[in-house]
Amino acid sequence: MHDYTALSHLYDDWIDYPGFELEKDFPESEYQLRLRRARTLLEEHSLDGLVITSSAIGQWFTSFLEPHEWHDLCPSRSAWFILTDSDDRLYMTPTAGGEHFNTTRRSTWVSDIRQVVERSTWPRAEIWDLDQVTGWFRDLGLERGRVGFELGDCMTLGISVLDFMRLRELMPHAELVDGSSVIRRLMSVHTPAEIDRVRLACEAGVWIHAQVTDLLRPGMTERQLFDALEDRFAAAYGDDYEYRAAGVWDVRNPARDDSNLFHAVATRRPYAAGDLVFRGWSGVRFRGYPADVDRCWSVGKPSRDVLDLYRMAWECNRAMAEAVRPGNRCSDVHAAGAAVESRHGFARKTGRTGHGLRNTGGLSVHPDNHTRLEAGMILSVEPMFSTVHGFFDLEDQYVLTEVGAEPLHELAPQELPVIE
């Protein structure tokens, strides 16, 4: 058995070692707001603590800039963010010299950073042991507490199932329960700062989509278009933005045998008259927040089939947007689009047609998702139709207010953009 108590202080000197000041991803007031929201939910759900072990949730507390390694990103290591009514602690592997301790202190607002001791007993392949965790819970007064973990819908537990089962054995007087209802709410009802970042991302996403009409020409290859888009974006936006031109493109042309369905790589296929070009997101992020805005373009004069399909997608988009209101359910938004589809003679069998900002928030525009919408949520409307004539998908993002919803960007155009 390892002496974890002695080893857990091995790198403490590095935490506050003097260093260059780093710009944190968000102000301390934002961090405190997130903690208050989480603690209010802990009280509402009768939880004494919340344990986060995945990067998808953990980075909401620590930021996208933190350097430590979550289990889902580095499976041999582990990171734990533990919140109680009075403590917020991050347990992390310090790396060989403890340098990540220091950088995490400079890049996050977490009050207390402590070591996950990197010692284990062979033949365990992970470089940390679970036995030390009981001491953490004891220090936090949770040895007999009711503690929520990422166990339920839309969650990914950042430790192995066997480790979780063993932890329950090691803590027989504690209740280790599903905390996903708390986490989904944190991930689906956004702070004003998050909404502002999504808005900035979406505005830039719509802008770069508008450049396609200006830059794309028949005979140009995908690679040439993507290079031109990246050059134009770099000239217009600063370091807080990221843009990746490749990925989630779809090009279909029933008159040719080289349609290029959903793909991630930049190809040498030349654009040609009759192509229906689609992109399934904008490629833009602002300080880690994505702009999931989808658009279509026609190369040359579109056929009547293409125009009719685009018109149906646009009408579904608008009908669904009208249903994005506080008190309505995700299924109501889906039904609004399905009614338009039915009027056009289209019978959808399955598939969601919109979603929240994060999948961990549990918002899916689907007939079987009855989550009620409320102010602060971000929801997309995304009707989509896959045909030989093209993939027709118009996605817009809305933030719910107390009385309705407002778009986060310029909406999809009523008329299909045509590249002459």
In the chain, domain spans: 4-187, 192-419
Q: Which two tokens stand for residue 239?
A: 């370091």
Nearest-angstrom CA–CA distance, 405 and 326: 8
- What's the CATH fold of domain 192-419? Creatine Amidinohydrolase (3.90.230)
Residue 150: the pLDDT is 98
Sorting pLDDT into bands at 50, 70 and 90, what band is 10?
A: confident
Residue 221: the pLDDT is 98
Q: Which two tokens stand for residue 359?
A: 């999948």
Out of 67-71, 180-184, 386-390, least confident range: 67-71
pLDDT in tens, 212-269: 999 999 999 999 999 999 999 999 999 999 999 999 999 999 999 999 999 999 999 9
Q: What is the overall mean pLDDT for the chain?
A: 95
Q: Which residue has the tokens 């450049």?
A: 211
pLDDT in tens, 130-152: 999 999 999 999 999 999 999 99
Backbone angles phi, psi at 102, to 5 degrees: -65, -45
Residue 1: the pLDDT is 63
Bridging pattern class, strands 49-52 and 79-84: antiparallel
Nearest-angstrom CA–CA distance, 399 and 357: 10
Sorting pLDDT into bands at 50, 70 and 90, what band is 347?
A: confident
Give me the DSSP letters along 253-299.
-TTSS--EEEESSPP-PBP-TT-EEEESS--EEETTEE---BEEEEE
Nearest-angstrom CA–CA distance, 349 and 337: 13
- What's the CATH fold of domain 4-187? Creatine Amidinohydrolase; Chain A, domain 1 (3.40.350)
pLDDT in tens, 157-179: 999 999 999 999 999 999 999 99
Average pLDDT for 3-21: 88
Q: Which two tokens stand for residue 51?
A: 């344990």
pLDDT in tens, 272-312: 999 999 999 999 999 999 999 999 999 999 999 999 999 99
Average pLDDT for 318-338: 98
Bridging pattern class, strands 146-149 and 49-52: parallel
Average pLDDT for 62-79: 88
Residue 9: the pLDDT is 87
Average pLDDT for 344-369: 92
Nearest-angstrom CA–CA distance, 118 and 366: 44
Average pLDDT for 171-196: 98
| Statement: residue 332 has pLDDT above 80 | yes
271 close to 298: Cβ distance less than 8 angstroms: no
CA-wise closest residue to 51 among 191, 183, 172? 183
Give me the DSSP letters along 299-367.
ESSPPHHHHHHHHHHHHHHHHHHHH--TT-BHHHHHHHHHHHHHHTT----S----BBS-GGGT-B-ST
Which residues, including other chains, have CB under 8 Å from residue 55's CB and lie 6 or more apart?
Answer: 70, 72, 73, 158
Q: Which residues make beta-bridge pairs with 355?
A: 364
Helices (H), 65-114: 99-107
| Statement: residue 392 has pLDDT above 70 | yes
282 close to 209: Cβ distance less than 8 angstroms: yes
